[in-house]
Chain A
């Protein structure tokens, strides 16, 4: 958990785009680089949000011969993050994948 102080606002769930945020998010490789944990503050509700990106696992099943064994470095560029602050937000669908306020934005993934 970061030292940043969370100032969460109670807003209604709404899917809205906050475009590209160039700062305020940390990328932490975990599990030997097999996962990347992205953490920061949601621009919509101010909640602390943490999302884990993993690599796919279909490596040994596709085709006849297994392909590469180690995870490559992901290409640099913007990636979409969705608010996953875990706070209750009114009107959030019961089957929502991310437990946040519905906001999404992009962050720049760099090596």
Chain B
């Protein structure tokens, strides 16, 4: 007859006397892993591509924020799953007898495989999200420059609005009710103002 039961009983008894060492090693694993999680934030910010995200046309800044957020969340969860797979001892649910330790080990092996699979998928998702975000920063159109607000005095009257276009013979002023085309020949003075009255 196999001595499996004897072997498991020995393992369970040994575990009883090595719990402190095991717990210390677990703490070290978590410390290293959590340091890595903190470093992930910096890594994501480095890879994010062009720095002037705020200058991109809407809605690209929001899309980028979402992509980088998804990437960071995926990396953090993947790292935590990997740490979880790499550490762990029987907890309160396991009485340290041979039979209980054997059952716990079987369940733990299953959970470790599931955690590794999850970590792998999340890492791939994070890399894809990060790559998509970095690519978007380069390919997204830039925000159109803000049009200055001007007050134009001309022989025909005074106009206030945003300076939309300077043509060969007219100024195009965008007002609250529409566009004004002011002939350049009639312009007397143009002042930049903060807002129109």
Contacts and interface: CB of A to CB of B under 8 A. Distances in A.
Interface of A: 15, 17, 36, 51-59, 61-64, 67-72, 74-75, 77-82, 97-98, 104, 106, 109
B92 A70 contact: yes
Given A61-B27, A81-B9, A82-B10, A68 B93 contact: yes
B97 A79 contact: yes
Given A62-B84, A104-B6, A57 B19 contact: yes
Contacts of B90: 55-56, 58
A55 B87 contact: no
A56 B23 contact: no
Contacts of A72: 92-93
B87 A71 contact: no
Contacts of A58: 19, 22-23, 26, 88-91
B96 interface: yes
A1 B91 CA distance: 30
A73 to B, nearest CB: 10
B14 A97 contact: yes
Contacts of B84: 62-63
Q: Give the one of A52, A61, A82, A104 with max B CB within 10 A.
A: A61
B9 A82 contact: yes
Interface in B1-46: 1, 3, 5-6, 8-10, 12-16, 19, 22-23, 26-27, 30
Nearest to A103: B6
Given A17-B6, A80-B9, A97-B13, A54 B96 contact: yes
23 contacts: A51-B13, A52-B16, A54-B16, A54-B96, A55-B90, A55-B92, A55-B95, A56-B15, A56-B96, A57-B91, A58-B89, A59-B91, A61-B27, A64-B80, A67-B93, A69-B92, A71-B92, A75-B100, A78-B99, A80-B8, A82-B6, A97-B10, A106-B5
